[in-house]
Amino acid sequence: MNLAVFASGTGSNFQALVDDPAIFPAIKLLVCDKKTAAVIGRAEQAGIPVFVFAAKEYADKASFEQEILDELAYYSIDLCVLAGYMRLIGPTLLGAFQNRIVNLHPSLLPVFPGKDAIGQAYRAQVKETGVTAHFVDSGMDTGPVIAQEKIAIEKEDTMETLTEKIHRVEHRFYPAVVKQLMASRKEVE
């Protein structure tokens, strides 16, 4: 199975996927929407081709998603793995990759969707939060859940310690989910 990872920023989750010897050979492409993103350097270091684009240079989402689709076809991509890709996926990509796009979100969806999910949970003073892997649909973090892991928020946690805890879990959790998908081609029921 050939994977494309989509990311916009630091790319620590991209790195966790690259560092897994069972996943690395399957990663054929990084798709990135930010020319200055640190994740690009990580891909270059790993020898993974990068398709980087600036949305504002296109007329609309359909135009850049069509170019992404061409890249996905070139590399015979089967599964798109979003890891901090800060854009909603539009009908062009969704139509071509139905139930073949997965995302990682740092909360126990359906609670705390959207941006700053860790901060949302922290400020809400809930006792636990977590991470979710889900298939992507047209909504913001609304697609069918594949797997979740809970993380306790302790009294002494700060935003920094909570963020660190969540990232530590993500870096173990997401590669495990991706491997499960690669092995079983889990479908949406």
Q: For ligand GRF, which residue of 51, 170, 175, 178 counts as binding (CB under 6 A)?
A: 170
Report the residue number, 102 or 104, with the smaller CB distance to ligand GRF: 104
Do the beta carbons of residue 37 and residue 65 sit within 8 Å? no
Restricted to residues 128-157, the positions that interact with ligand GRF (CB under 6 A) are: none
Q: For ligand GRF, which residue of 3, 5, 6, 13 counts as binding (CB under 6 A)?
A: 13
Restricted to residues 25-84, the positions that interact with ligand GRF (CB under 6 A) are: 83-84
Q: Note whether 100 binds ligand GRF by CB under 6 A.
A: no
By CB atoms closer than 10 A (0-12, 13-18, 19+), residue 142 is middle
Q: Note whether 175 binds ligand GRF by CB under 6 A.
A: no
Label residues 9-19 b or e (16+ Cβ within 10 Å = b).
bebbbbbbbbe
For residue 131, the minimal CB distance to ligand GRF (Å) is 6
Q: For ligand GRF, which residue of 5, 11, 23, 93 counts as binding (CB under 6 A)?
A: 11
Which residues, 6+ apart, have CB-to-CB distance to 183 below 8 Å?
none
Residue carrying the six token digits 């684009």: 53
Residue 105 among the catalytic residues:
yes
Q: Which residues are catalytic?
A: 105
Binding site for ligand GRF (CB under 6 A): 7, 9-14, 83-84, 104-106, 170
